[in-house]
Amino acid sequence: MDDDVELFTTELPSEALIERGDPVASRASGGAGIAASIAGPIEPTRAPVRWLDAAGARYAPGDPIGRGGMGEVVLCRDLAVGRDVAMKLIRDRARVRPEVEARFVHEARVQGQLEHPAIVPVYDVGLNADGALYFTMKHVRGVSLAEVLRGLRAGDAALAQRYSRRRLLTVFSQICMAVHFAHEKGVVHRDLKPANIMLGGFGEAYLLDWGLALAPEAAPEVVHDRAAVGTPGYMAPEQIEGADAAPIDARADVYALGVILFELLTHERVIDAPAIVDVLRATLALDGARPAARAPDADVPPELDALCYRATRRDPAARIASAAALSAGIEAYLDGDRDLALRWELARGHADEAAAALTRARAAPATEQAERARAMRDVAAALGLDPNQVDAQRTLVRLIAEPLTSVPPAAEAELAASAGAAFQFARRSALAFYAGYLLYLPLLLWMGVRDVRLFALGWATIAACIGATVWLVRRPPTRRGVPLAHLALSTVTVGTASVMFGPFVLVPMLAGTMCVCYTASVGTGRGLVPIAGCVSVLAPAGLAWLGVIPSCYAFEDGRWSITSQVFDISSVPTQLFLVLASFGTIAPACVFVARLRRAYLDGERRLQLQAWQLRQIMPDAT
């Protein structure tokens, strides 16, 4: 349905009491219209009761401001008080029936007895000069909630800015308390709808049109006690069912308030069918409206979704107990909403401070570390207050992605500790490697020693390397550069192994293992390591080519003959030694590299897990 239609009522719609447009402009234009309608200024007399016009009338009529089926509202000037009032009177007196007059008086009395800030006060009831019933009330200005909702549905940006969800919920809570006030007086409105709620320009709100209200001691023919009265789409199911339904009480108004809350949250009607009969059928079939399910893009808070559902249950006994309880639920949400707004504001402040600190850090290297630490603290505070604070997330990304120009002392200490652990592991591995040579001693003696001096020289260099390695393990250097003395001693030790089978058998494997250990454990001077490895192989070969030392190799008739300068080469012990020496050289190197690889993969895995966790707090756009 496009318009609200009341069933079984001839009362004037609430729009009749509403002066459209801006309140201030309306006040000015209304004053001008009234002035034009009054024949000259009113001079005060000695007795205020004699403030009447020439014909003896208290009210000077102005322009009509609303019209309904049987009644109209005109703007009048109250000459006795000197103010503008709205006068409601019955039109077309020739067709007035006694029950219409009774309902008219009933409305005036009910509205007049409900003294509440959100209920328009009644000033006077009487008969005019033509004998027509009238009552006067406060002239209120503003727009109806129905007009606001129509504008929001149409996408009116200015209206959306002026009437935010928070403001509408505040007004709704005020109306709920006005309804509860009426319920405490025994009055049930029976026609609550957005068209009967007016929003003033200065934060005020009014609940209008009490023509269908149930009140104590009212005659049944006046209030239609068991008739289906109200507006389809807002009427409670028991109002539609009439005499066969449960008694109509305050819970019927709670149902209508739940329907209005649904519209405030979604800007849609709970039931929007083209025909009245379809609306009535859908109302009887509905058991609780869920705004979050109807409008998933409206971002309906779960607290308000639950309130709306409980207020619109089919069974009156299952509904929220009172309009006051509904107002309390709204106020509880608004209290939390106010706290949330404060958290957002604080988060925005911390995010701005973090961005400024990061900018200062990039501009001043001397204070970079302190400013970046300050930026990280502000980012943490902002995200703690609002995990979705986009500016804080962007600053966090910059803090992580942009490296420092200098390493902080704490990080330097951690890096040094990590490098020291790697250094110690390499030295212990080297110690185990050199000590492993003792396992070859029985095989070497089995092969037979030809030159005791060379044999002793080889073992002396091995013992010297073991001693130097033990020294480094116990007293690691403060700097992680290449230990030149130890590297030189290791190079000589590897080079002397060439006296066994020449520089190209076993020696390259030993040199490779030596290079791996040094390269993985030192920080600076790593370029010397491959040079030392090459020297350990090429120096003995060069000396043999120059004839400085005897050569172990002879090439004749396409054959390569190897002669050891230290041992007798016999088949079984020599081959067994070469097999074990090859295994003893390759295996430790592989174990060492495997451990380094595992440490690298563990570090990479931790970094990937940290990156994944960081991505969970950052939006994809960031």
* Helix axes of 390-401 and 368-385: crossing angle, nearest 10 degrees: 150
The pTM (predicted TM-score) of the whole model is: 0.54
Residue 10 has pLDDT above 50, yes or no: no
Which residue's entry shows tokens 């006030």? 181
Q: Model confidence over 420-429: pLDDT tens digits?
A: 666 666 667 7
Q: Model confidence over 183-230: pLDDT tens digits?
A: 999 999 999 999 999 998 888 899 998 888 888 866 555 555 455 678
Residue 615 has pLDDT above 50, yes or no: yes
Residue 15 has pLDDT above 50, yes or no: no
Where is average pLDDT lowest: 210-219, 334-343, 570-579, 582-591? 334-343
Q: Model confidence over 527-555: pLDDT tens digits?
A: 888 888 898 888 888 888 888 888 888 88
Q: Model confidence over 95-119: pLDDT tens digits?
A: 567 777 888 888 888 999 999 999 9
Split at pLDDT 50, 70, 90, the class of 29 is very low
In the chain, where the domains are located: 14-321, 339-401, 425-608
Range among 58-67, 145-154, 527-536, 567-576 with highest mean pLDDT value: 145-154
Average pLDDT (54-67) is 80
- What CATH fold (topology level) applies to the domain 14-321? Transferase(Phosphotransferase); domain 1 (1.10.510)
Residue 621 has pLDDT above 50, yes or no: no
Residue 503 has pLDDT above 70, yes or no: yes
Ordered DSSP codes for 141-178: BSEEHHHHHHHHHTT-HHHHHHS-HHHHHHHHHHHHHH
CA–CA separation, 620 and 616 (whole Å): 9
Q: Are 369 and 357 a contacting pair, CB within 8 Å?
A: no
Ordered DSSP codes for 185-210: TT-B-S---GGGEEE-TTS-EEE---
pLDDT averaged over every residue in the chain: 79
Residue 291 has pLDDT above 80, yes or no: yes
Residue 283, exposed/middle/buried by CB under 10 A (0-12, 13-18, 19+)?
buried
Average pLDDT (60-89) is 85
Q: Model confidence over 314-324: pLDDT tens digits?
A: 999 999 999 99
